[in-house]
Amino acid sequence: MDRYLLSLWNQVEAGKIKVEKIADQLMLSTKQTRRKLQQWQDEGWLTFQSGRGRGNTSSLEWHREVEREYEQAFFILLEKEPVEFVSKLLLLDWSIETKQRLMTAFQAKLGFQQEGDDRLIIPRFYPFLTFHPLKAADAHSANIVANLYNRVVSLNPDHTVNAELAHTWEYTNTSLLLYLRKDVAFHDGSILRAEDVAASLKRMKEDEHFRNLWEPISHISTPAPLVVKLDFPSGCTYVLQLLGNLSASIYKETNGRLLGTGGFYLAEETEDKTVLTAFKQHFGNRPLLDQIEFIQVPKEFQVVYYGGHESKEVDTFKVESDSGFGIVVMNPFRKSDMARKEVRDYIHMLISKHRHELSIINNRITGNNEGCLIGHSQTYTMPEIPKPTLNGPIKFRWVNYTKDTAQWIKSTLEQGGIEIEMEEISFQESIYNPDVYLDADMFVHGEIFELNQTFSYFFFLKNSFSPLHFMVERDGYLQRKIEAYNSIPFENWNDHHLEIEQYLLKESLCVPLYYVKRQIPFSINLLNVEIKHFGYVDLTKLWTKPGV
């Protein structure tokens, strides 16, 4: 199927038209357009009569109904070709009505397919940015990492710590001994050794984004087979919580390939498809599904999980999960009006006064007049203050996923007399280059915590992927407060969190904006749906009833 021909069909009617206009519509050069028109004419789709002489307009006549024929071809391919091949055709420039029909038909191909193996096909809107534990700074990638790798321990929401690769441990005020499980296999069949775990932890300790978190730990060694020792002479009250963080997943590299020990291994990765296959030698319970396929689909696609053997009328149930919170971060270190507290306070006041309106632009979000710590942050209000004098516009950077919220902020601030200069940055840039915000006065950031809110907030403050990193580096008060965590028992951290949050609010540096939830429909035949890391379903626990 030729995407340019379909675009022409849906954009240009028969009649008088200039070739230059067609070229603009198709975003091709005039030369390329003339070559295409000749090709389509030879194939019998149309006739293009070029105008001769000055002032004579060209004309186009259609002979075949392009979209109808392409739609018929789509349904034939849908039955014969792999879904990842057909999914690319959904990205063509179809009319709205046709695209809806095609997506409905394609939807029936998604979900569980039981042809010997249990295979779940999941639509995705964007490719995964990374599969590397130390680079998975976005929730989408982190969810995959959680299924490919294990950690030595895992941290639960209630602060309890579970054994994973370590079956037990001994903790003192200055050291931690980890005793590893026997015969744990990597995805290539090699057996996990203490040296593999030590090497993986050392990589995190030396990584530019996490070295600050590892400062208290001075030495990592392997004093005996299947034993790893961490030394922290000055103490480290959070060492187990640190090892339970997703970024501390254990991996090794062989011939340029990352290997984990998780319930799934990465079997295939292309632009259109990512395939995870169950690792049958997993030391824990192997996944109940045999394969997970993530297929690229258009953003308009309705994500509903059905079995491949089920009809469209099958009942569903909705699973709700937290999708995190949004904040507005203001930069007091740029040489602009934002360095003045009265300017930040005025902007804070305008946002606080109107953020209840956010649910109007998106019914999944709720205005947040508390803070980032659900169940701990307290409701607050901002007093009315007069508009300060400004010397220029406020430079506001935003990322595509915050577009609607960013536009709402712009409108709200402009109504309050603040001139806004908007600049979009890429999602990837916002993730891997947080310093991009140094040259901005303010920006919106969406954050979602892993599982344990208490440790996640500390991680949010301290790792250098964080949008607050530039602020922590330059603010003496924040530096002192964060250094104090090392001597505070973990169970008392929330009180310390609230002191930091109150400072950020008082100085109008980090303004809470919204909470967001999502609801995902699942077939009633899909069982053991459990929300885990970053609000995503735990893929290792899913199973489906056999068709009977």
pLDDT digits (tens, 9 = 90+) for 445-478: 988 888 899 999 999 999 888 889 889 999 999 9
The pLDDT score that the predictor gives to residue 111 is 55
SS3 at position 65: coil
Model confidence at 55: pLDDT above 80: no
Cα 542 to Cα 546: distance, rounded to the nearest angstrom: 13
* Dist CA 470 CA 244 (whole Å): 25
- The answer to whether residue 394 scores a pLDDT higher than 50 is yes
Q: Say yes or no to pLDDT of 493 above 60.
A: yes
Give the containing element (helix H, strand E) for 147. Answer: helix 139-148
Predicted pLDDT at 548? 44
152 vs 114, which has greater pLDDT? 152
Which CATH architecture is the domain 150-261 placed in?
Alpha-Beta Complex (3.90)
Contact 518, 324 (CB under 8 A): no
Q: Two tokens at 129?
A: 């940015």
**pLDDT tens figures, 259-310:** 999 999 999 998 888 999 999 889 978 888 888 888 888 776 666 555 545 5
> Which stretch of 11-20, 103-112, 183-192, 255-264 has the lowest confidence by average pLDDT?
103-112
Give the chain's mean pLDDT: 88
pLDDT at position 531 over 80? no
Burial 419-455 (b: 16+ CB within 10 A, else e): ebeeeebeeeebbbebebbeebbbbbbbbbbbbbbbb
Are 75 and 284 a contacting pair, CB within 8 Å? no
* Residue-level pLDDT at 110: 60
Domain ranges of the chain: 3-64, 150-261, 321-517
Q: Which fold has domain 321-517?
A: Dipeptide-binding Protein; domain 3 (3.10.105)
Q: What is the mean pLDDT of residues 214-235?
A: 96
3-state secondary structure of 310: coil
Q: In this structure, are residues 71 and 86 in contact, taking their beta carbons and an 8 Å threshold?
A: no
Give the H/E segment covering residue 377: none
Just give the CATH number of 3-64: 1.10.10.10
Report the C-alpha gap between 459 and 246 in whole angstroms: 11
Higher-scoring residue by pLDDT: 442, 541: 442
With a cut of 90, say whether residue 173 has pLDDT above it: yes
pLDDT over 90, % of the chain:
55
Q: Report the pLDDT value the prediction gives residue 532, as an integer from 0 to 100.
A: 76
Chain-centroid distance of CA 101 in Å reads 28
pLDDT of res. 167: 97
More confident residue, 297 or 239: 239
pLDDT for 379 beyond 50? yes
Mean pLDDT, range 95-106, rounded to an integer: 77
Helix-helix angle 96-107:66-80, to 10 degrees: 10
Q: What is the pLDDT of residue 102?
A: 82
User: 51 versus 503: which is more confidently predicted?
Assistant: 503
**H helices present in 372-511, as ranges:** 403-415, 427-432, 453-462, 469-474, 476-483, 493-506
Give the global pTM: 0.77
Sorting pLDDT into bands at 50, 70 and 90, what band is 109? low
Answer for the pair 7, 93: CB distance below 8 angstroms, yes or no.
yes
Return the top range by mean pLDDT from 45-59, 451-465, 500-514: 500-514
